[in-house]
Structures are given as structure tokens and as C-alpha cells.
């Protein structure tokens, strides 16, 4: 399992992460980011790609 | 031992290339040379949220990943020249770095005003961490700040300086801020939003000289007037850092001309097999648009080009390289997100929302959508993204 942390004080809900790891991140009906706090190890590459595309660099994998 | 993959440029493009090479299975040595003393860091916050608070390396540093722990970082070292025939790069200390493959990631540096009275304190650009540290120290409440240039960087600094309580004047040759990128209507609306915050625009105007003895005290405009100032920010575009590549039969007219695999090309169009270019300095064709090679100075391009180079280098590239250009900007509470190449458009239309609030504009060339940009309204903006894949 990997643990995912998004700094919601930084997040501006640009939603770029959604395209890289759709099983972890989504924009809700109010265009606000929601995410799962944990994901399977197989999602690591996708979450790292989501980290790479986050304009606010708000996403981290917490080991 | 085999020579390393040598990445010249230790910013985002260099870092992402090292990471991508590991991700696609390259296990050999990697060396990254960079002229700044800092490990790779994220530049966009330097004109926005970090500039508004405390500017430090810690606030903007990219997290180092385990996969790149064995990368050899040579920081604080400027490269002087390259000899592509002999696979070597020479740095400013005279040290010679042989390579098996070269990745050019040297990016851009800010263009500066060329004026007679230019040797003054108080002149700033915004590109590096040190630039932002120096600027932040001068952005005191009540300081009179003149920003030359009304592109994204100029407008972001204007918003940040205004938020910090500075008096802000923006001087630029265009008819409205960010007009070349956003189109007339959205640009005019952004100007209104800046003016509502108290920013003064002096448009269709150029700076002809500076006033001051040792520190800048004013800027002289081409209409003969002088705008007094304590702080001058020059946000007037950039130069490509390609001088070190001269003499290698490359096309360096605007960045480094590469093919769709991001291999640097000789003047006759034949690519160097082991020389790649990533990031701002790459001028590459994107078949999603047309055959014209372009430099794309968007934040997602270093990451996209790094991935392509790693795929090509490890012989795992499939299909064409067609990255979706994307940019965002934060100015006050206006958060703009765009996809596509808006500047290609011959027609721009409001397609959703209200121009005075959240809204989405479509950008069209010959009736085909080439870009979309919204203030807020993420779901609507995202729904058009597939048009550019």
C-alpha cells in the first residue's frame, strides 16, 4: 500500500492529477479535488505521474 | 566503465529526464551538470505564492526520488562548450565531461532592458531562486514597483506585489495584458480585474531609459513621461541558453531544433543519434497541430519531453510525440487553466459562464478548436481536453 497526502492549503483544484491516476483522484460536482488516502502499490507509477503534473506541487507519497 | 548519460541543466527538465531514464529501465551512470548552486526546484511559485511569503529553496525544492539517488549532481558549474563529434562537454573550470548520450536541458534566461542608464540597483528579473529572494526583499508595503512586460510572469508579479501592499504600474507594448496568449476579450477582462485591485497599466508604451544615480528612481517612457519607482521588474521575455552549443552544425535560431524524437538535428536535417533536447529550449514539431517546430514555454513540457527522451533512448517510444500544451496562472483569486496553443487561434468565443465571473473561452483556427481556457469551471475546461489528445 502507498499513502497519499495532498496539501489542501496548496491545492487549487486544477485537476491535472485526475488524468494520471483516475482511480485515486477526482473532481467532485463542485469542481473540488477528492482523493483516496491509500492505494495499491501498483498505483505508485500513476501517483508519481500525478505528482509530476500537479501545478501546485501539492501531492506527496508518504512512505 | 561506460561514459554516463550527461544531462546539462539541473532544473526541472534535467531532473525529470534522470527520473524517466530510470523509470524506463536505464541502469547506467547519469551525470547532471547545472550552473545554479541548488538542487532542482520548481520555478512557478517564484512569481506567485512563494514570492508572497518566504522565498527559500526548501519551499520550492522537488522531492528527490529513490530511483535517482545514484545520479551524480555537478551543481554550481557552468558549461562552456560541447563537441558533439567527440562526445564531450567542457565546463567553465576546464573540466572535460565525456558522455555516451547528451541531454540538453539548459532552458532560458530572462531578457533584460537595454538602456543607456542601466547600471542601477533595484533592477530585477524573475527566473531563478536567487532572483526571487532579491525581489522579495524589495517588495515592501508602499514600495513603488514598475513591471515592464505584461505576460504571465509580469502579471503574476503585479498581483503578488499588489497583494503585498506595493504601488504597482505595469508598462507594456501590447493593447492589454497577456493578450497574445489569452486573446482580446479575456485579456481585457484580466486587465479590469487587475485595475480593480489598484494596478495601473501604461500600455502601448515602451521604456526608453531609466532615471537614478545609484539606484533606480524612475523609468522614462517613449511618450516622454517618467514613472517614479523604487523597484523595477523586467519581465520582457527570454533568451535561450544555447551559446555553449555553437560550432556543432545545429540549428540554434530559436532554441535547438529537434525532430519528433527530440534528437538535435544538424543543419541538413540529419539528427545526432545520441543528442537530445528537453524543456523550454527544445524547438520540436507537434503533429497534433502542424509541421512547424515550436518552443513551448509551458511548465508541463519539461516533464513531457523528458519522458519522450527516456522512451526513445531505451527504444520504447511508440507513435508520435504529441504533448498537450497546458498552462495555468494564479493572479489574486483568479485561477486560469488552459489546454492547447491559444496563440494559433483566429477566432475566440466565450463558450460557458459569465465574463465577469467564472468563464470558459474556446480558441479556434479555421473553425477547429486549438485551445480552451477557463477561469475556474474546471469540469468544463477538462471536458474539452480530449480535443487536444
Same domain for B163 and B252, yes or no, is no
**Inter-chain CB proximity A18 and B330 less than 8 Å:** no
Q: Is residue B162 part of a domain?
A: yes
Q: What is the mean pLDDT of residues B58-72?
A: 93
Complete DSSP assignment for B338-368: EEE-GGG-SEEEEEEE-TTSSEEEEEEETTE
Same domain for B104 and B126, yes or no, is no
Q: Which residues of B touch A60 (CB under 8 A)?
A: 63
Helix (H, G, I), strand (E, B) or coil at B373: strand
Q: Is residue B125 part of a domain?
A: yes
A13 touches chain B (CB under 8 A): yes
Angle made by CA atoms A42, A53, A60, in degrees to the nearest 5: 60
> Above 80 in pLDDT, residue B3?
yes
Q: What is the mean pLDDT of residues A5-30?
A: 93
How does the average pLDDT of chain B come out, rounded?
96
**Inter-chain CB proximity A31 and B385 less than 8 Å:** no
Same domain for B32 and B127, yes or no, is no
A48 touches chain B (CB under 8 A): yes
Crossing angle, helix B300-313 and helix A44-53, to 10 degrees? 140
Q: Is residue B318 part of a domain?
A: no
What pLDDT score does B325 carry? Answer: 86
A19 CA: distance to closest CA in chain B (Å): 10
The domain boundary, picked from B218, B234, B250, lies at B234
Same domain for B223 and B133, yes or no, is yes
Domain of residue B49 covers 5-109+238-313
Cβ B169 vs Cβ B227: under 8 Å: yes
Q: Which residues contact B162 (CB under 8 A, 6 or more apart)?
A: B168, B194, B197, B198, B199
Q: Which residues of B touch A51 (CB under 8 A)?
A: 63
Helix (H) or strand (E) holding B170: strand B167-171
What pLDDT score does B144 carry? Answer: 98
Same domain for B58 and B84, yes or no, is yes
Q: Is residue B62 part of a domain?
A: yes
Helix (H) or strand (E) holding B307: helix B300-313
Counting Cβ atoms within 10 Å, is residue B252 exposed (0-12), middle (13-18) or buried (19+)? middle
Q: Strand B256-257: give its sheet, edge to edge.
A: B256-257, B282-285, B293-295
What pLDDT score does B341 carry? Answer: 87
Q: How far apart are CA B350 and CA B373, in angstroms?
A: 10
Which residue is it, cell 505564492?
B49
Phi, psi dihedral angles at B73 (to 5 degrees): -95, 125
Same domain for B265 and B337, yes or no, is no
Query: What digits encode the pLDDT tens for the residues B133-147?
Result: 999 999 999 999 999
Which residue is it, cell 481556457?
B373
**Inter-chain CB proximity A14 and B330 less than 8 Å:** no
What pLDDT score does B1 carry? Answer: 62
A45 touches chain B (CB under 8 A): yes
Same domain for B228 and B163, yes or no, is yes
Percent of chain B at pLDDT above 70?
100
B88 CA: distance to closest CA in chain A (Å): 31
A31 touches chain B (CB under 8 A): yes
**Inter-chain CB proximity B379 and A27 less than 8 Å:** yes
Same domain for B299 and B265, yes or no, is yes
Nearest to A55 among B328, B377, B378 (CB): B328
The domain spanning residue B186 has which CATH number? 3.50.50.60
> Above 70 in pLDDT, residue B105?
yes
Same domain for B268 and B346, yes or no, is no
Same domain for B196 and B130, yes or no, is yes
Cβ B100 vs Cβ B274: under 8 Å: yes
Q: Is residue B358 part of a domain?
A: yes
Cβ B8 vs Cβ B103: under 8 Å: yes
Give me the domains of chain A, ranges plus CATH numbers: 2-62 (3.30.70.20)
Q: Is residue B323 part of a domain?
A: no
Least confident of A26-30, B30-34, B242-246: A26-30
Which region holds residue B315: left if phi is over 0, alpha if psi is between -120 and 50, else beta?
A: left
Same domain for B98 and B194, yes or no, is no
Look at residues B139, B126, B152 and name the one whose alpha carbon lies nearest to residue B331: B152
Count residue pairs from A and B with Cβ separation < 8 A: 36
Same domain for B225 and B81, yes or no, is no
A53 touches chain B (CB under 8 A): yes
**Inter-chain CB proximity B65 and A18 less than 8 Å:** no
Q: Which residues contact B334 (CB under 8 A, 6 or more apart)?
A: B190, B193, B375
> Above 70 in pLDDT, residue B59?
yes
Q: Say how many domains are in chain B.
A: 3
Query: What digits encode the pLDDT tens for the residues B347-366?
Result: 999 999 999 999 999 999 99
Nearest to A55 among B16, B299, B378 (CB): B299
Q: Which residues of B touch A22 (CB under 8 A)?
A: none
Task: Assign B42 a pLDDT band (cuts: 50, 70, 90).
Answer: very high
HSE of B230, CA atoms in CB hemisphere, 13 A: 13
Q: Which residues of A touch B45 (CB under 8 A)?
A: 57
**Inter-chain CB proximity A57 and B23 less than 8 Å:** no
What pLDDT score does B367 carry? Answer: 94
**Inter-chain CB proximity A27 and B378 less than 8 Å:** yes
Q: Which residues of B touch A13 (CB under 8 A)?
A: 335, 378
Cβ B294 vs Cβ B284: under 8 Å: yes
Query: What digits encode the pLDDT tens for the residues B317-326?
Result: 999 999 988 9
The domain boundary, picked from B313, B341, B361, lies at B313
**Grid cell for residue B3:** 561514459
Q: Is residue B326 part of a domain?
A: no
A57 touches chain B (CB under 8 A): yes
Amino acid at each position: 500500500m502507498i499513502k497519499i497526502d495532498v496539501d489542501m492549503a496548496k491545492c487549487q483544484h486544477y485537476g491535472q492529477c485526475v488524468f494520471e491516476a483516475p482511480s485515486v483522484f477526482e473532481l467532485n460536482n463542485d469542481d473540488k479535488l477528492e482523493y483516496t488516502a491509500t492505494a495499491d502499490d501498483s498505483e505508485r507509477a500513476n501517483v508519481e505521474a500525478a505528482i509530476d503534473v500537479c501545478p501546485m506541487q501539492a501531492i506527496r507519497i508518504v512512505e | 566503465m561506460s561514459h554516463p548519460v550527461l544531462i546539462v541543466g539541473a532544473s526541472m527538465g534535467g531532473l525529470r529526464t534522470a527520473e524517466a531514464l530510470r523509470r524506463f529501465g536505464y541502469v547506467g551512470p547519469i551525470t547532471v551538470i547545472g550552473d545554479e548552486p541548488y538542487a532542482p526546484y520548481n520555478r512557478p511559485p517564484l512569481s506567485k505564492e512563494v514570492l508572497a511569503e518566504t522565498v527559500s529553496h526548501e519551499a520550492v525544492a522537488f522531492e528527490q526520488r529513490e530511483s535517482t539517488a545514484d545520479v551524480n549532481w555537478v551543481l554550481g558549474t557552468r558549461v562552456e562548450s560541447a563537441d558533439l563529434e567527440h562526445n564531450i562537454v567542457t565546463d567553465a573550470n576546464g573540466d572535460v565531461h565525456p558522455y555516451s548520450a547528451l541531454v540538453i536541458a539548459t532552458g532560458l534566461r530572462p531578457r533584460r532592458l537595454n538602456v543607456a542608464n542601466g547600471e542601477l540597483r533595484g533592477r530585477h528579473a524573475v527566473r531563478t531562486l536567487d532572483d526571487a529572494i532579491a525581489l522579495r526583499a524589495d517588495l515592501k508595503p508602499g514600495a513603488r514597483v514598475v513591471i515592464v512586460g505584461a505576460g504571465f510572469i509580469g502579471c503574476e508579479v503585479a498581483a503578488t506585489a499588489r497583494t503585498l501592499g506595493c504601488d504597482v504600474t505595469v508598462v507594456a507594448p501590447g493593447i492589454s495584458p497577456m493578450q497574445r496568449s489569452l486573446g482580446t476579450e479575456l485579456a481585457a477582462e484580466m486587465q479590469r480585474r487587475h485595475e480593480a485591485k489598484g494596478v495601473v497599466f501604461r500600455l502601448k508604451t515602451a521604456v526608453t531609459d531609466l532615471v537614478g544615480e545609484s539606484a533606480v528612481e524612475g523609468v522614462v517612457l517613449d511618450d516622454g513621461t517618467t514613472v517614479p519607482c523604487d523597484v523595477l521588474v523586467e519581465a520582457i521575455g527570454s533568451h535561450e541558453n544555447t551559446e555553449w552549443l555553437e560550432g556543432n552544425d545545429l540549428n540554434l535560431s530559436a532554441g535547438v531544433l529537434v525532430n519528433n524524437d527530440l534528437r538535435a538535428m544538424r543543419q541538413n536535417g540529419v539528427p545526432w543519434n545520441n543528442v537530445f533536447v528537453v524543456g523550454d529550449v527544445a524547438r520540436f514539431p507537434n503533429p497534433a497541430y502542424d509541421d512547424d517546430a515550436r518552443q513551448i514555454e509551458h511548465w508541463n513540457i519539461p516533464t513531457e519531453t523528458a519522458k519522450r527522451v527516456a522512451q526513445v533512448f531505451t527504444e520504447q517510444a511508440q507513435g508520435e510525440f504529441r504533448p498537450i500544451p497546458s498552462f495555468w496562472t494564479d493572479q489574486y483569486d483568479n485561477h486560469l487553466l488552459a489546454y492547447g496553443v491559444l496563440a494559433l487561434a483566429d477566432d475566440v468565443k466565450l463558450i460557458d459562464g459569465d465574463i465577469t465571473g467564472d468563464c470558459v473561452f474556446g480558441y479556434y483556427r479555421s473553425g477547429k478548436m486549438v485551445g480552451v481556457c477557463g477561469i475556474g469551471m474546471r469540469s468544463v475546461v477538462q471536458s474539452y481536453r480530449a480535443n487536444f489528445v
